[in-house]
Amino acid sequence: MTAGTPDGWTEVDGALERTFTLESFPIAIAFVNAVARISQRENHHPEIVIRFRDVTLRWWTHDANAITDRDRELAEITGALA
């Protein structure tokens, strides 16, 4: 994977960030649950903010205090879920 910002994501305060607007609150929660399963499997967790049907994800590596290739990869994977 090449370094850079994945499509649909922006770099905000040292993290990859994207807000997804889903069709309904239950669909937003299902999306969050899918992100949670992937995050748990990969042992790498984003910051998640839920506002009704808007879900904001922020990926960065806490130990490195930076965006890493792993964050970019997981941003692409989770971005494809919506």
pTM: 0.92
pLDDT attached to residue 4:
87
Residue 31 tokens read as 């999306």
Structural domain containing residue 31: 15-79
CATH of the domain at 19: 3.30.1360.20
pLDDT in tens, 37-72: 999 999 999 999 999 999 999 999 999 999 999 999
Return d(Cα 75, Cα 37) in angstroms, integer. 14
Residue 4 covered by a domain: no
pLDDT attached to residue 12:
97
pLDDT attached to residue 2:
46
Say what angle helices 69-79 and 25-42 make with each other, to 10 degrees: 150
Residue 5 covered by a domain: no
Our count of domains for the chain comes to 1
pLDDT in tens, 16-43: 999 999 999 999 999 999 999 999 999 9
